[in-house]
Amino acid sequence: MKWEKLKPPEPDDPMCCCECDIYQYGCCCDCEDLDEAFSRWLKGKPPKSGCQSPVFGALMQNLEISLIPALLLLPLLLRVAALHYLLGIIILTALPGLVLWYYYATHRKKRRTLFFLTLALYSLAHMYYLFITEILPRGDVSQLQLFSVTAGMILTILSLIHTKRGPGFVSASLQEAHSRSQETEKKDSEHLNGSVQSAASSSESKPQTLTAKWSRCPVCKIMRPPRAGHCRTCGSCVQRLDHHCIWINSCVGQANHRSFLLTLCVFLLTSVYGISLVLCSLCPRQYLMTALLYCPGVYSQSSTALCFTCAWYSSIITGGLLYLLVTQVLNISFNVTEREAQLALRNKTGQSRLWGLVVDTREFSRGFYQNWVEFLTMTDASISLRSSLTDLV
């Protein structure tokens, strides 16, 4: 499925050449904005209001430039932040604001972007590079500790790759497989009952339950299972849609929710352990809890100042992902997805609990233990339906 680069068009919208991944001249698109811009330029008419050239603006929207800011600005900003602690406070405070601004800018356009995934992977690689080149030569890190950090890095990347395999998209074949399984179960029940009247009553009740549980997506125009949702960023319906995660550039759904949670856990453990090793090496006389706030003499050398600034940068990222992990664990405990929680708040059908960290819809919850059992044992519906049909045949 070639939806990795840009947001696919809606089913009723005409496909533009710049939205097709296999078109080799996608950046030289003939869409309306570019046509109008060149037409005005050829006729000598003044461009529309705005300081930016419309031709340049149309081209920049179709080019993938989201890799450049993360690869160039991050090391430069960290180097500048390491010059003085006041610069560090200003830059590390402004960085989350810039990231949030870019998120809302791309979120309004409902388009996929590689910026956040690139920023996450490059930050991980850059922190590990500084750990190897600056902290390891100081002699305070043992081989076992180095092996633990490296293993955590590798496990994080492997679990991220497994998460990126797909959230479990809803397709037309899934609804057909579900219909065939329902028909097979109905025939088996008719054969076991051996009664014509019971078979007639079951044939009347089965379609009612089928239409009651499955709903038609107004965008995809296909039948989708319960708790599935349409992601306008990916342009597809996802089984048990939780949310679209910008950091992995993919949706989190029924097929990859467990691996997404595993990625968060492994990354947080590795990050906390790596930050503790860096602080113990830079501030050996300080307690670990206070070293991040007060470490005398750390700005005397550029290398130690850079490592200390990166420790603060990693702590900010770790704090944000820790909040995400807590909300995910609470949602699983109440058997509610992030999408269902937002819909419940919008429709005023849910109740906020634990200081607003979770929304209890009381629709699918069966208790703490059963909710976690359901989460840990759920599988992709398309795979489970195929296997059940194979077993029945």
Q: What's the pLDDT tens digit per position in 261-285?
A: 999 999 999 999 999 999 999 999 8
Range of the domain at 237: 167-175+216-254
Question: Do 144 and 287 fall into the same domain?
Answer: yes
Asked, for residue 234, whether it belongs to a domain, the answer is: yes
pTM exceeds 0.95: no
Burial 288-321 (b: 16+ CB within 10 A, else e): eeebbeebeebbeeeebbbbbbbbbbbbebbeeb
Asked, for residue 130, whether it belongs to a domain, the answer is: yes
The predicted pLDDT at position 171 comes to: 80
The predicted pLDDT at position 89 comes to: 93
Q: What is the mean pLDDT of the chain?
A: 78
Asked, for residue 91, whether it belongs to a domain, the answer is: yes
Say if residue 379's pLDDT is above 50.
yes
Domain count, the chain: 3
Asked, for residue 209, whether it belongs to a domain, the answer is: no
The Cα–Cα gap between 220 and 224 comes to: 9
The predicted pLDDT at position 137 comes to: 94
Domain boundary among 284, 299, 321: 321
pLDDT band at 386 (very low <50, low <70, confident <90, very high): very low
pLDDT band at 74 (very low <50, low <70, confident <90, very high): confident
Contact 19, 9 (CB under 8 A): yes
Contact partners, residue 97, CB within 8 Å, separation at least 6: none
Query: What residue spans of 110-238 are helical by DSSP H?
Result: 115-130, 143-163, 172-193, 196-213
Asked, for residue 315, whether it belongs to a domain, the answer is: yes
Asked, for residue 115, whether it belongs to a domain, the answer is: yes
**Distance from chain centroid for Cα 386:** 27
* Minimum mean pLDDT range among 172-186, 201-215, 323-337: 201-215
Residues with active-site annotation: 245
The predicted pLDDT at position 390 comes to: 33
Rounded to the nearest 10 degrees, the angle between the axes of helix 302-333 and helix 368-377 is 110
Residue 51's CB: how many other CB atoms inside 10 A? Answer: 5
Question: Do 243 and 283 fall into the same domain?
Answer: no
Question: Do 281 and 363 fall into the same domain?
Answer: no
* Minimum mean pLDDT range among 2-6, 115-119, 231-235, 363-367: 2-6
